C-alpha cells in the first residue's frame, strides 16, 4: 500500500517560474489563474520527466522545441466543435438571424486568444451555412504564433470529427445532418478543416493587453470569447475585457462562456444580456 | 473562513446517497459543501433542481471565480473541471477529461487539499471508475479527513474500493454514518 506525499507546487514556486519566463523568454503567464498553473505545469513536468520546476525553466530557456510544446500545452484546446449545442442554437437565432444577417456593410468579427480552435471552426461553419462569409472580415488572434500554426494545420482525429457531427446533430435537432463535407481526410488518417474556409480568416499574433491591438485596425460587430478567460486571474480578466469592450462596436455582441463571470467588469452597465440563459451581451452605449 | 470544507465525489449509483445526505443536513449548516459528480455533458440544467427538491441547503452551480460562502452547496457544472483557488474562490476549466471525467473528482480534491489542508473533509461515494481515489489520498496527505463509502453498501463499488486499494482512509462509513458524522461536526 503506497502512501507517498505528492508535493504540490507552491504559489511562491509558481510566481518565480512565471516571472522567470516573462523576464527571460518574454512569455507572460504571470496573471493566469493560480490553480490552473499549479496543475498544468505539474502535468507538463510529469509528462516530460523533468526533475522540478527550476529545471523546467532552465530547459525552456535552452530548448526552443520544448518551449513551443510548453506554450501549446498551456494553451488549452477548446474541447470540441459545437460544444454546448443549445448555446449555438441561441447564437444562430439572436446574433446571426436577428442581427448580423441584416447588416449591409462588412461584418467584423474577432476571435481572440485562439488555441486550436474549435470555436473558430464552428463559427466558420455557421457563417458559411448562413451566407455571411463573403461579407465578413474575421480576425483571430493569439499572443503565441504556435497557436496560430496549430489552428491552421490542426489535424482532427476521426473521433473528434464524429463528436463534432454528434454535436451538430444536437444543434440542428436533426439526426440526418452532418459536417463531413467540412473536413478533408489526410494521408495519415487524420482530418483537416477545409482550406477555403480557413483562408477567410486573418490570423494575427498580438497580445491584446500589452499592445492594445496595435496590429488590428478596426472595431468589431462580434467578439467570440468563450471559455478563455477562465484561465486568467480576476485582474487579467478585467483588463482583457476592457480592451475587448473598447474594440466592440455599439450594438456589437460580446459572447463569453456559459459559466464565465463578468460581474466585476467596470463597464457592465454598458452591456445588456440578450438571452436569459446564454452569456451573449450587446453593447448598448 | 469556515471550520470545515466538505467535498463529496461520486459517480454511478451515488445520486440517491447525495440526495439523502443533503436532505439530512439542517438549513443552518454553515460549512460549504462541494459536489463533484460525473454527469452527462450535454445536459446543462436540471441537476441543481433535482438536488434541491428536498434539500434545506441552497444548491448552486458556481460560475468561474465565485467567492466561496458557508452554507451553500456548490455543484461542479457539466463539462467543466472545478478547482479551488488560493483566493477562496472557485475556478473552472475546460481542460481535457481526467479519468475520462469532466468534472474530475481528483482535480477538485487535490486543489482543495492544497488550499484548505486539514479543514477538508473528503467523501468518496459509489462509482464505476477510479476517479477520486488519488485526490482523496492527497486530502489525507495534507492533513484532512477522508471518508470512503463502505463498498458493501455502494451500488457500484469500483470507486470506493479504488480508494481503499490505495490507502487507509480516516473512516469507512455507510451513508447513514456519514450523515451522523457531518451533523456531529456542526456546532
Q: What is the mean pLDDT of residues B8-36?
A: 95
Q: Beta strand pairing status for A271-273 and B81-84?
A: unpaired
Q: What is the mean pLDDT of residues B31-60?
A: 88
Q: Tell me whether B117 touches chain A (CB under 8 Å).
A: no
Least confident of A21-25, A201-205, A213-217, A220-224: A213-217
- Name the minimum distance, in Å, from the CA of A105 to any CA of chain B: 35
Superfamily for B5-184? Methylesterase CheB, C-terminal domain (3.40.50.180)
Q: What is the mean pLDDT of residues B108-135?
A: 96
Domain spans of chain A, in order of start? 11-74, 85-283
Which residue, chain included where needed, has cell 490570423?
A203
The closest of A87, A43, A45, A36 to A233, measured between CA atoms, is A36
Quick: pLDDT tens for A188-210. Answer: 889 999 999 999 999 999 888 77
Contacts of A87 (CB under 8 A, 6+ apart): A258, A278
- What's the rounded Cα separation, in Å, for the pair B20 and B38? 18
- What's the rounded Cα separation, in Å, for the pair A181 and B46? 35
Quick: pLDDT tens for A98-149. Answer: 999 999 999 999 999 998 789 999 999 999 999 999 999 999 999 999 999 9
- Name the average pLDDT for chain B: 94
A231 to B93: CB separation less than 8 angstroms, yes or no = yes
- Name the minimum distance, in Å, from the CA of B35 to any CA of chain A: 16
Give pLDDT, residue B181: 97
User: Is pLDDT of A3 > 60?
Assistant: no
Q: Which CATH number fits domain A85-283: 3.40.50.300, 1.10.1060.10, 3.40.50.150, 3.60.40.10?
A: 3.40.50.150
User: Is B131 a catalytic site residue?
Assistant: yes
Give pLDDT, residue B171: 98
Domain spans of chain B, in order of start? 5-184
* List B24, B38, B104, B157, catalytic entry: B38
Counting Cα atoms < 13 Å in the Cβ hemisphere of A85 gives 15
Rg (CA), chain A: 20
- What's the rounded Cα separation, in Å, for the pair A232 and A234? 6
User: Is B11 a catalytic site residue?
Assistant: yes
Report which secondary-structure segment, H or E, holds A244. Answer: helix A234-246
Contacts of A46 (CB under 8 A, 6+ apart): none
CA distances from B155 to B125, B130, B158, B161, B176 (A): 9, 15, 9, 12, 15
Q: Are B76 and B82 in contact (CB under 8 A)?
A: yes
Q: Tell me whether A73 touches chain B (CB under 8 Å).
A: no
**Confidence bin at A212 (pLDDT 50/70/90):** low
A261 to B42: CB separation less than 8 angstroms, yes or no = no
CA A235 to chain centre: 19
A11 burial via Cβ count (<10 Å: 0-12, 13-18, 19+): middle
Q: Which residue has the higher pLDDT, B25 or B39?
A: B25
A7 burial via Cβ count (<10 Å: 0-12, 13-18, 19+): exposed
CA B19 to chain centre: 13
Give pLDDT, residue A216: 73
Give pLDDT, residue A214: 62
Give pLDDT, residue B46: 81
Q: What is the mean pLDDT of residues A12-30?
A: 95
Helices (H) and strands (E) in chain B, counts: 6, 10
All residues of chain A having their beta carbon less than 8 Å from the beta carbon of residue B79 are 79, 83-84
Amino acid at each position: 500500500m503506497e502512501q507517498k506525499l505528492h508535493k504540490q507546487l507552491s504559489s511562491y514556486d509558481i510566481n518565480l517560474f512565471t516571472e522567470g519566463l516573462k523576464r527571460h523568454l518574454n512569455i507572460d503567464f504571470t496573471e493566469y489563474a493560480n490553480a490552473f498553473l499549479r496543475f498544468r505545469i505539474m502535468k507538463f513536468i510529469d509528462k516530460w520527466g523533468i526533475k522540478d520546476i527550476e529545471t523546467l525553466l532552465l530547459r525552456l530557456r535552452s530548448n526552443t522545441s520544448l518551449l513551443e510544446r510548453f506554450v501549446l500545452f498551456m494553451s488549452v484546446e477548446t474541447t470540441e466543435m459545437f460544444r454546448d449545442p443549445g448555446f449555438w442554437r441561441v447564437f444562430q437565432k439572436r446574433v446571426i438571424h436577428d442581427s448580423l444577417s441584416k447588416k449591409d456593410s462588412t461584418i467584423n468579427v474577432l476571435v481572440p486568444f485562439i488555441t486550436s480552435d474549435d470555436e473558430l471552426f464552428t463559427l466558420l461553419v455557421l457563417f458559411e451555412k448562413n451566407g455571411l462569409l463573403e461579407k465578413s472580415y474575421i480576425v483571430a488572434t493569439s499572443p503565441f504564433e504556435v497557436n496560430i500554426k496549430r489552428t491552421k494545420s490542426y489535424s482532427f482525429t476521426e473521433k473528434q470529427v464524429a463528436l463534432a457531427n454528434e454535436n451538430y446533430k444536437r444543434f440542428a435537432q436533426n439526426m440526418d445532418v452532418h459536417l463531413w463535407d467540412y473536413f478533408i481526410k489526410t494521408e495519415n488518417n487524420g482530418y483537416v478543416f477545409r482550406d477555403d474556409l480557413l483562408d477567410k480568416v486573418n490570423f494575427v499574433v498580438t497580445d491584446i493587453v500589452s499592445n492594445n491591438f496595435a496590429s488590428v485596425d478596426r472595431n468589431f460587430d462580434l467578439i467570440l470569447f468563450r471559455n478563455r478567460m477562465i484561465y486568467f486571474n480576476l485582474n487579467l480578466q478585467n483588463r482583457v475585457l476592457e480592451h475587448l469592450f473598447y474594440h466592440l462596436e455599439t450594438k456589437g455582441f460580446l459572447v463569453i462562456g456559459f459559466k464565465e463571470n463578468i460581474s466585476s467588469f467596470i463597464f457592465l452597465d454598458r452591456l445588456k444580456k440578450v438571452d436569459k440563459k446564454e452569456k451573449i451581451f450587446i453593447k448598448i452605449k | 473562513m469556515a471550520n470545515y470544507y466538505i467535498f463529496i465525489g461520486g459517480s454511478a449509483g451515488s445520486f440517491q446517497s447525495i440526495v439523502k445526505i443533503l436532505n439530512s443536513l439542517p438549513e443552518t449548516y454553515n460549512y460549504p459543501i462541494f459536489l463533484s459528480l460525473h454527469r452527462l455533458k450535454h445536459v446543462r440544467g436540471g441537476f441543481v433542481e433535482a438536488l434541491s427538491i428536498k434539500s434545506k441547503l441552497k444548491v448552486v452551480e458556481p460560475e468561474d471565480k465565485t467567492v466561496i460562502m458557508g452554507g451553500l452547496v456548490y455543484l461542479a457544472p457539466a463539462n467543466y473541471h472545478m478547482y479551488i483557488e488560493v483566493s477562496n474562490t472557485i475556478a473552472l476549466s475546460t481542460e481535457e477529461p481526467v479519468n475520462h471525467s469532466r468534472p474530475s473528482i481528483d482535480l477538485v480534491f487535490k486543489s482543495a487539499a492544497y488550499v484548505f489542508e486539514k479543514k477538508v473533509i473528503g467523501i468518496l461515494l459509489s462509482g464505476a471508475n477510479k476517479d477520486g481515489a488519488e485526490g482523496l489520498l492527497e486530502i489525507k496527505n495534507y492533513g484532512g479527513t477522508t471518508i470512503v463509502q463502505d463498498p458493501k453498501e455502494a451500488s457500484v463499488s469500483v470507486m470506493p474500493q479504488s480508494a481503499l486499494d490505495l490507502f487507509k482512509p480516516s473512516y469507512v462509513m455507510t451513508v447513514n454514518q456519514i450523515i451522523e458524522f457531518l451533523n456531529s461536526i456542526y456546532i
